[in-house]
Amino acid sequence: MEFRRLGETKLAVSAITFGAWAAGGWMWGGNDDKEAIEAMRAAYDLGITSIDTAPIYGQGKSEELVGEAIKGLQRDKVQILTKFGMRWDFAKGDFFFKSQDNNGNDIDIYKYAGKESIILECENSLKRLDTDYIDLYQIHWPDSTTPIEETMEAILRLKEQGKIREAGVSNYDVKQMAIAEKVIKLASNQVPFSMVNRGIEDELIPYCIENKKAILAYSPMERGLLTGKLKPGQTFGEGDHRAGNKYFKEENIRRTNEFLAKIKPLADEKNATLGQLVIRWTINHPGITIALVGARNAEQAKQNAKAIDIHINGEEMEFINNQLSDLEIVG
């Protein structure tokens, strides 16, 4: 496994990091607790020592499963990345969207990052994770109702208290990062990035390279689209958020699969799956520090970890990018 430092901090994380959203079941049509824990442990055994989670993932469930998965492991050999700022238990801040929890109960999701809320969220996360510190603590989404300065001052207090090691943001733009930086030195920004979703290339990547900030790419597999396993007419189970997502429209699945067919010979040549080639392309991309990749079970986790063994040279990166230039997502 390759380990990469986040920005100018001393915190190093595995270039492939375990993304534990699906482990919480919420918005993924449920989960299997035992398989989720086994997936995280299998990933760890193959060098994926970093796990990214959040309280909202299953309304605490994902964090609890992460806590179970790391029991018995040497704590300083594991990097826990979690978040704050998405509340489902009270109505305050920016209303985000309506949802259902894993039991089918209606819940309203709010983006809220007031000081007292952050302090409470951190304590709750530490309990669920069964640990006394968090390696990287990230605001999940911007909250327009709370000044960024107030949010970051709360994070600074948590850092001074030793409850977190480093501060990060998620889904922030360049201007929001610059404001946050006036209060606390940021390690990273976690943002969506994949072969079919490259919007951060224009502003955010250049900013982060120039200011030495790490980029944690989430959804690098575009939630399974880039595995090549989905076919036009794909149906999703109840509660699966992909059902209404533009990337999973029949035409976009067809177009993406046509692109994947063009790069499959390269994957075959390297004795790799399409998914492994996609992961390696992602962490090779300029400005991208790590890729967050989920796994439903131990076998998927093992396959993800093997992506680190693939080598893609400059000429091959150019070939992939040339094929990508012909791919247009509609809708």
Q: Is the dihedral of CA 1, 304, 192, 319 positive or negative?
A: positive
Query: At a CB cut-off of 8 Å and minimum separation 6, what does 154 contact?
Result: 113, 115, 118, 119
Strand order in the sheet with 106-111: 86-87, 106-111, 94-100
Distances (CA, A) of 103 to 24, 27, 98, 108, 140: 12, 12, 15, 14, 23
Q: From residue 91, give the alpha-carbon distance in Å to each of 69, 102, 114, 322.
A: 32, 20, 13, 47
DSSP state of 69: H
Based on the residue annotation, tell me whether 112 is a catalytic residue of this protein.
no
* Angle in degrees, CA 21, 46, 15, rounded to 5: 60
Phi, psi of 195 (to 5 degrees): -55, -30
Given CA atoms 220, 223, 229, 233 in this order, what sign does their dihedral have? negative
Angle separating helix axes 314-324 and 250-269, nearest 10 degrees: 160
3-state helix, strand, coil in the chain (%, to 5): 40, 20, 40
CA distance 190 to 174: 12
Distance of CA 39 to the CA centre of its chain: 16
Catalytic residue among 57, 112, 172, 247: 57
- Catalytic residues, which ones? 57
